Amino acid sequence: MRSLSVKKVNIMKNKTLKIDILARVEGEGGLKLKISNGIVKDVQLKIYEPPRFFEAFLRGRDFREAPDITSRICGICPIAYQLGASQAMEEICGVKVEGQLKTLRRLIYTGEWIESHVLHAFMLNAPDFFEAGSVIHLAQVYPEVVKNALRMKKAGNEIMIVLGGREIHPVNLRLGGFYKVPKKRELRALLEEIKWSKQAAVDALMFISKFEFPEFKQNYEFLALSDPDEYAILGGRLVSNCGINLPVNEYDNCLVEEHVPHSTALHSHLKGAGTCLLGPLARYNLNFEQLTPLAKETAFNAGLGRHCYNPFKSILVRMVEVIYAFEEAERIIEAYEEPGSPAIEVKPRAGTGYGATEAPRGICYHRYTIDDNGIIQDSKIVAPTSVNQSRIEKDLWDLVQANVGLTDEKLKFFCERAIRNYDPCISCSTHFLTMDIERD
């Protein structure tokens, strides 16, 4: 299968390479590289999208509004924000959502994983392996592959519509559960398409496994939620391959944020330990044993081992998670029994609560403080891209240094391609900003 081929040339002079607008990523960002005599001197993933101030305008709002307000942070993964906010508020108020309501939350989250992962894998990432400008060019060569990908994505959207009312910024989720729960027949109507899509996802992974992947392995510290009983999506403990094992309420003692001049989003990094990587590769490496037998088997058939440290192969891991998500959706729907009530009552009380879920791109963290009347006094939301930004820059530094002999055009393309591996959601990360004003 045709892949990227490059011709190296000797470059031994000072140069600055700029990518003003990154293509095929969500949000607005660019890249600046400085190279002197063949040595990389600086790498800046420049996020210039205007700040969005979500934490600021949550203050003073009713605690019940948080899930709907935060869902507007991202149109691709609104469920991550809705459920993270819900978890934090429910913790403050002493409410624990269990049983079928918790299972329905997991089901709608599978829909989000499916639509997001398939969108990224085929519409944004796969064209890079053919040096294609867009999925339109890919569709001209492999029309059935793209058609099947769109059908899989639609199946994920349908799960979100049935449970959430619509696929973009769903309106049916609330603190304690849902405004309305689906009938058994409504969910079972999705089964035929889910079963078709599960097999289509297996076939899609095997198609992608034939791509030629650049040799680029990194020594990552992976960080993900982990649950001994299931592949973590809705919660768990913060776990890394370097010894971290903490409850979610210790997140702020684990990761710290800092301002960098070239970004309107804060950079997050491990306290005293540097960068870490969130997302599919982290989940796969840390939680492999919780995957289903079919997902594991297909991963092995696609050439993945128990561990994967090559970010260019993250497209494979995303499709493993798509297979898992379709299996989970099928399992949940077949066992579904309508709960007696669509939600548990959540009454306000003063306190601070924490929530974290696994968005398609990694851990989405929420912390809120409310008063006795349920008015939000303080909020902190950390999107996974905010944590991954520093790691992306580190990987780019190593990648450029290893390929510094490429022509400028080839190097620019290679860097853009590398950034797309991480599926950065730039808009999600730009609501972080501290502003200091000095007046005479």
Domains, the chain, in order of start with CATH, read 54-429 (1.10.645.10)
Task: Quote the radius of gyration of the chain (alpha carbons, Å).
Answer: 22
Token pair, residue 79, equals 């469920």
Please report, in range form, the residues annotated as the binding site: 55, 74, 77, 381, 425, 428, 431
Q: List binding-site positions for Fe cation.
A: 77, 428
The full DSSP string for 334-397 is: HH----SSSB------SEEEEEEEEETTEEEEEEEEE-TT-BEEEEEEE-HHHHHHHHHHHHHH
Give pLDDT, residue 75.
76
User: Along the chain (440 residues), what's the average pLDDT of each consecutive run of 10 residues?
Assistant: 40 70 74 89 81 85 96 87 97 97 98 96 92 87 96 98 94 97 98 98 98 95 96 97 96 90 81 91 98 98 97 97 98 97 97 97 96 97 90 92 88 88 75 34
pLDDT at 406: 87
DSSP string, 80-104: HHHHHHHHHHHHHTT----HHHHHH
Q: In whole angstroms, what is the distance from residue 199 CA to residue 205 CA?
A: 10
pTM exceeding 0.85: yes
Q: What is the dihedral of CA 97, 103, 105, 111, to 10 degrees?
A: 170
Question: What is the total residue count of the chain?
Answer: 440
Q: 326 by DSSP, 3-state: which? A: helix
Q: What is the pLDDT of residue 19?
A: 76
Residue list, annotated binding site for Mg(2+): 55, 381, 431
- Give the residue numbers of the binding site for Ni(2+): 74, 77, 425
Listed in sequence order, the DSSP H helices in 265-358 are 280-287, 293-301, 314-335
The one-character DSSP state at 411 is H
* 267: number of Cβ within 10 Å: 23
